Amino acid sequence: MRFVISYVFVFTVCYATIDDYKAKRAKILRDEGLLSVGGNIKLTDKESTVNNCIMQHKFREVDYGFRNPQHYKFSRHFFTYKDDIRQSKVYQIIKDMPKGAALHIHDMGILGPDYIMNLTYSDDLYICFDKSDVKFKFSDKTPKTPCKSNWQLISEARKSSNSTKFDMKLRKYFTLCVSNPDTTYPSIKESWEVFMKYFGRVIDILTYRPIWEQYFYDVLLKFKNDNVMYLEVRSILPSLYELDGTLYAPLITAKTYRKTIERFKKDHPDFVGAKLIYAPSRSVNRSQLDEYLRLARAIKADVPDIFAGFDLVGQEDLGSPLIEFIPQLTAASKDLNYFFHAGETDWYGTMTDENLIDAILLGAKRIGHAYAISKHPLLMKEVIDKGIALEVNVISNTVLSLVRDVRNHPLSNFFAQGMPVVLSSDDPGAWEADPLSDDFYVAFVGVASRLSDLRLLKQIAINSLNYSTLDGVNKNKALDRFNLKWNAFVDHFNCSKY
């Protein structure tokens, strides 16, 4: 009885009235809102009109899921609802919205299976069906690369069978999408195995030099059409080749990037541009890393205008941890900017999630994924204090088996704490997603607070340019250009369209 009486006494001292209690509660909600990403943005009257429209549609989606959790799409695998996204009014608005930049994408995983299928109708392309897999090669004669069946021109292989069935079978090699993802991908092991096979199949199609140049041009166009104005592309810099077997050094691949970027900017003057992050495999030894770093310096010296920096990529749990290369990476940090993949794991207290420590100590400008960083409070503080952007790729994290229900994605925590976040799409072509709009949509409706609104979307877009490697003058120009596009979007917005 004494305990009950004292509890009531304390309550009445702290909260003299119910109105006082409600005021304190409202202050907590207001302060949390101000702390979150975009919380300090003040909307204009026209932006408020857009906001009212998009939030009405968002509330309908979120509230339906709240009342009918058995039908809530974001609690399931992305492949089960990806085709329904196009019907969402929120998605349609986001699709039309300027989204700034994509800062975390991998060159050979951007355009989807339908694009690759069109390339299989090119002349001089050979195919080899190798048990349950397939190989390709452009050549002016039968390739000498080992094949367990036999090499044949794909045009002849298609003619000798039912072409519709042939293409239906072939397309499956160029996508991770399946009708039963929970069965096909029960763990990260299976999803990454198929993911790596995907790159093994497309590399010899895409690295034929004439194809490569057109492919990257089409990548830029695809992002531009998704209202993205600037890219930073990670590349392993594969060696390009000619029909006669001529093989070019990786430095030529970097120069090809620059040539294609310049051609695209000439054709589309409102596009800000693109830069290259050299990102070879992390499954290497120290001598191989020395070769990578030498090449990175050579690229920087030869094409400094498009070179952004260096990364190491691949399944992080299986690759070499950064701590194995500290002497070399510390020395090279004087010459190179780092954008390390780090913490792309569900594990805690392993060498993989501790890559986050080394990425920060090595001076990384941005961190790829950083999925595990919410388990490291000191690192969270470092990221905020130093302005190290976290490149979050929500759909990638679901497809590659880090999280199923995106409401549990740590991005919700990043948003709430006002962390320096940018959204990107990683390898959208591999799972048949939009260049960037799908990731914005899933993050906005599935991950962010129900109350997060247009201010969040605007801040993320601005972040993507602020945390880019554009220099001061060009960054300001890009932000000015973004503001013009944003204002045009707001000025011409008509809710009845959606």
Just list the catalytic residues.
Answer: 344, 369
Residue 391 burial (C-beta neighbours within 10 Å; 0-12, 13-18, 19+)? buried
Tokens 């005021």 locate to 23
Whether 465 and 101 have beta carbons less than 8 Å apart is answered as: yes
CA 334 to chain centre: 27
Task: Give the whole-angstrom CA distance, residue 132 versus residue 183.
Answer: 18
* CA nearest to 106, candidates 227, 219, 239, 265: 219
Whether 352 and 328 have beta carbons less than 8 Å apart is answered as: no
* CA nearest to 427, candidates 179, 226, 256, 176: 176
Tokens 């041009």 locate to 217
3-state DSSP assignment of residue 458: helix
Q: What strand order describes the sheet that includes 152-153?
A: 133-138, 125-130, 152-153
Tokens coding 95: 């699709």
Q: What is the DSSP letter of 326?
A: H
Tokens coding 402: 């880090």
Calculate the CA dihedral of residues 206, 210, 216, 222 and round it to 10 degrees. -100
Q: What strand order describes the sheet that includes 366-369?
A: 341-342, 366-369, 389-392, 421-423
All residues at 6 or more sequence positions from 280 whose CB lies less than 8 Å from its CB, including other chains: 236, 237, 292, 312, 313
In one letter, which amino acid is 438?
A: D
Most distant CA pair in the chain, distance: 94
Whether 461 and 102 have beta carbons less than 8 Å apart is answered as: no
One DSSP character per residue, 278-306 reads: E--BS---HHHHHHHHHHHHHHHHH-TTT
Calculate the CA dihedral of residues 84, 86, 92, 97 and round it to 10 degrees. 110
Residue 141 burial (C-beta neighbours within 10 Å; 0-12, 13-18, 19+)? exposed
One DSSP character per residue, 240-283 reads: PB-TT--B--HHHHHHHHHHHHHHHHHH-TT--EEEEEE--BS-
